[in-house]
Chain A
Amino acid sequence: MNRITVETLLQDLASRGLNGEKISEQQIKVFASKDNFVNHLHYLQTIGFEHLANINGVDYIAENEFEVVYQVYSYEHKIHIVFKVRIPREKPVILTVVTLWEQAQFYEQEVHEFYGIYFEGNKDLSHLFLENWNDLPPLRKDFNTEEFSEKLFGSKRHGGGK
């Protein structure tokens, strides 16, 4: 397969209805809608973007949206794609990509645990890290970690001094 450049990749994706922006010579970001992003990821996988490095969430509380970010890389083209999908904050449900990448299972479990985002089709969304957790998912912006620590562990903002 020929190596493609960032520019041709952006054109190719634009022809498929995906908006993108260049971040650097080897990195782009792409915005996809929540309805058909799995198809796009599948397409990317077929043209050589076979390495899913991470899935992470971002909480845009001002815009009332969550963003799920898929970090995809191609060993052949040496291009990294930051693949972003926005979902509403009230009903954070998104399709799973476990069928494309097996390790997505654990990344999705993690995102679910930390953001409360549901991945439809993922069979096991149990907690990996937290135990006995009844509060808001901790990485949401409206979860106040300092207040939580103060109430449960008795932490003080200024240490033992004040």
Chain B
Amino acid sequence: MNFNSYSLTKIAKEDKDTTYDLFFGPNHPGMHGNFGYVLDMVGTEINSVRPNAGQLHRGFEKLMEQRGWVQNLTLVPRICVMDPDPNEVAYCMSVERIMGVEIPERAKYLRTITLEMSRLTAYLLAIGGFGGTLGHYTPTHWSTADRDLIMDMFEWLTGGRVYHIYNIPGGVRSDAPEGFFDKLLEVMDALEARLPDYDSILFENPIVHKRLKGLGYVSKEDARKTGLSGPNLRASGNAYDVRKDVPYAAYPYLDFEIITQEGGDALTRALQIRLEYEQTINLIRQAVKKIPEGDVRLNLGLLGNLKVQAGEAYEKVESSKGEFGYYIVSDGGTKPYRVSVRGPSLPAGFLWAQKHLPTMKIDDVAAWMGSLSICPPDFDK
């Protein structure tokens, strides 16, 4: 950083009036969602940062207390637009835990398949985000088109492209249509065949390596202590994955290893997504192979006026961004007494922003944000 070209920054540091506030977002092409940071800048260097959240606040937790148990399923996927299914599944699992019911095997597999498909869409979007934030738009165009292949499959399975509302307490809403699994495997093959292309233009691109290396370093201990989760945690060398540690859906029956990497910087996190992408394709193939015949839904009576006995439970699901947790309190009525959502992005979006950004230049903020896969809707709620 001892470049002469930064002399402006040096002069500016001595002059008080040259610090200025820069609104990075919400209306900024590098920003992931309707969110912003107010950066206190000197030249191109960041002095301090203030998160400017709340543009996406809809009061979900209050609204869920106003609607019935099943009606809430239309609200929960909207908490994370990029990866909606973990919300549905976590909500349903919490309700099922309070009711003390076990869903049929086939439903478990169908849930797993939708979860993993949803993870793929989120990873593809993240790959596109990496490209876009580094000014390299080819991966963005490719990955968005590839993501649509999975969206088509979702549309066929559930009837909706983005919001599926497929999981329901007691199982899933309907069985897969005829020919769905064959087509799904074809799509998986096509996506896997695309991986070398992504490698050569993005993940093995020396420019990308130079830009991302050492950016936003998170140490192993810090990652555990500050509540990071998901790929961010594993990229710092912690072998923690909800799918393995607190198994849910059909994950206990599937064969997979937790992928960890040492490194903890933006590059490692990008490669983490790349590696887990491959694992996800593998998981879908396994699930399609092993899926048993049978019912897809428990008969819980009239779900429209479902009553859940008094109790409480916290259930979590591994989403593409980390741990999504739903803490539900029931008082035995037709509506939840309290639903509290744990979104995975808050530690990264608020805490790590205040730690990382003051050491950075403005050019790196978007790339840093993409690497921590910060998704504003899940902490704005």
- Direct A–B touching, Cβ under 8 Å: yes
- Chain A positions near chain B (C-beta within 8 angstroms): 23-24, 26-27, 29, 50-54, 56, 58-59, 69, 71, 75, 78, 80, 82, 101-103, 105-107, 114, 127-131, 138-139, 143, 145-146
Binary contact readout B310-321 vs A (1 if CB under 8 angstroms, 0 otherwise) = 001110100000
B57 close to chain A: CB less than 8 A = yes
- A56-B338, A58-B329, A139-B61 known; 10 other A-B pairs, CB under 8 Å? A27-B314, A50-B224, A51-B225, A53-B227, A53-B316, A71-B327, A78-B246, A103-B346, A130-B54, A139-B59
Q: Nearest chain B CB to A97's CB is how many angstroms away?
A: 12
Annotate B157-189 by CB proximity to A: 1 below 8 A, 0 otherwise. Answer: 000000000000000000000000000000000
Please report the C-alpha to C-alpha distance between residue A69 and residue B151 in the assembled complex, in whole angstroms. Answer: 37
Assembly CA distance A147 to B44 (angstroms): 47
- Residue of A whose beta carbon sits closest to that of B58: A129
Closest 6 CB pairs of A and B: A129-B54, A56-B340, A54-B342, A129-B57, A106-B350, A103-B347
The complex places the Cα of A23 from the Cα of B327 at a distance, in Å, of: 12
The 6 sampled A-B contact pairs (Cβ below 8 Å) are A27-B313, A51-B229, A82-B314, A106-B351, A128-B54, A143-B62
Q: In the bound complex, do residue A71 and residue B246 qualify as a contact, i.e. CB atoms below 8 Å apart?
A: no
Q: In the complex, which of the residues B62, B323, B351 contacts A139, with contact meaning CB atoms closer than 8 Å?
A: B62
| Contact call B312/A82, Cβ cutoff below 8 A | yes
How far is the CB of B261 from the nearest CB of chain A, in Å? 17
Q: Smallest CB-CB separation from B337: which chain A residue?
A: A58
Nearest chain B CB to A80 CB, angstrom units: 6
1/0 contact string of B334-349 vs chain A (CB within 8 Å): 0001101010001100
B226 at the interface (CB under 8 A from A): yes
Q: Write the residues of chain B forming the contact surface with A, with a CB cutoff of 8 angstroms.
A: 51, 53-54, 57, 59, 61-63, 66, 97, 224-227, 229, 238, 240, 245-246, 312-314, 316, 323, 325, 327, 329, 337-338, 340, 342, 346-347, 350-351, 379-380
Inter-chain contact A105/B351, CB cutoff 8 Å: yes
Question: How far apart are the CA atoms of A82 and B351 in the complex, in Å?
Answer: 23
Instruction: Tell me the interface secondary structure of chain B in the complex.
Output: mixed
Q: Are B342 and A53 in contact (CB under 8 A)?
A: yes
- Interchain CB contact under 8 A, A24 and B97: yes
Which residue of the partner chain, among B54, B229, B245, B342, contacts A71 with CB atoms under 8 Å?
B342
Output the least CB separation between A134 and chain B (Å): 16
The CA of A26 and the CA of B247, in the complex, are separated in Å by: 10
**Cα A131 to Cα B134 with chains together (Å):** 33
CA distance A49 to B339 in the complex (A): 23
With A and B bound together, what is the CA distance between A56 and B326 in angstroms?
11
Query: How far is A106 from B355 in the complex, measured between Cα atoms in Å?
Result: 14
Residue in contact with A146 in the complex, picked from B66, B238, B346, CB distance below 8 Å: B66
Note all chain B residues with C-beta closer than 8 A to A105. Answer: 350-351
Are the C-beta atoms of B227 and A78 separated by less than 8 Å? no
Report yes or no: B245 in contact with A82, Cβ–Cβ below 8 A: no
Shortest CB-to-CB span from A122 to chain B, Å, is 14
Query: A106 and B325: CB pair below 8 A?
Result: no
> Judging by beta carbons under 8 Å apart, are B380 and A129 in contact?
yes
Shortest CB distance B230–A (Å): 12
| A70 CB to nearest B CB, Å | 11
Instruction: Say whether B59 contacts A138, CB under 8 Å.
Output: yes
* Known contacts A53-B342, A71-B327, A106-B346; A145 and B59 CB within 8 A of each other: yes
User: Closest A-chain residue to B238, C-beta based?
Assistant: A75
Q: What CA separation (Å) do A107 and B341 show in the bound complex?
A: 12
Q: How far does the Cβ of B380 sit from chain A's closest Cβ, in whole Å?
A: 6
Given contacts A102-B351, A131-B54, A145-B66, contact A54 B340 (CB under 8 A): yes
Residue from B312, B342, B351 in contact with A23 in the complex, judged by beta carbons closer than 8 Å: B312
Q: What residues of B have a CB within 8 angstroms of the CB of A56 in the complex?
A: 327, 338, 340
Decide: B62 and A80 in contact? CB cutoff 8 A: no
Q: Closest A residue to B329 by CB, please name it.
A: A58
Partner of B240, one of A24, A54, A75, A138: A75
| B224 CB → nearest A CB, Å | 6
B312 adjacent to A29 (CB under 8 Å): yes
From A80, A114, A143, contact of B246 by CB (8 A): A80
Give B239 Cβ to nearest chain A Cβ, in Å. Answer: 9
Out of A58, A103, A138, name the residue touching B338 (CB < 8 Å). A58
In the bound assembly, the distance between CA atoms of A56 and B312 in angstroms comes to 13
Determine whether the beta carbon of A23 is less than 8 Å from that of B350. Answer: no
Indicate whether A53 sits within 8 Å of B351 (C-beta atoms), given known contacts A58-B338, A101-B227. Answer: no
The answer to whether B245 and A78 have CB atoms under 8 Å apart is yes
Residue from A27, A51, A78, A130 whose CB has the most chain B CB atoms within 10 Å: A51
B72 to chain A, nearest CB (A): 15
**In the complex, chain B residues whose CB is within 8 Å of the CB of A71:** 314, 325, 327, 342
Q: Which residue of A27, A103, A145, A146 is within 8 Å of B350 (Cβ)? A: A103
Do A130 and B346 contact each other (CB < 8 Å), given the known contacts A78-B245, A146-B66? no
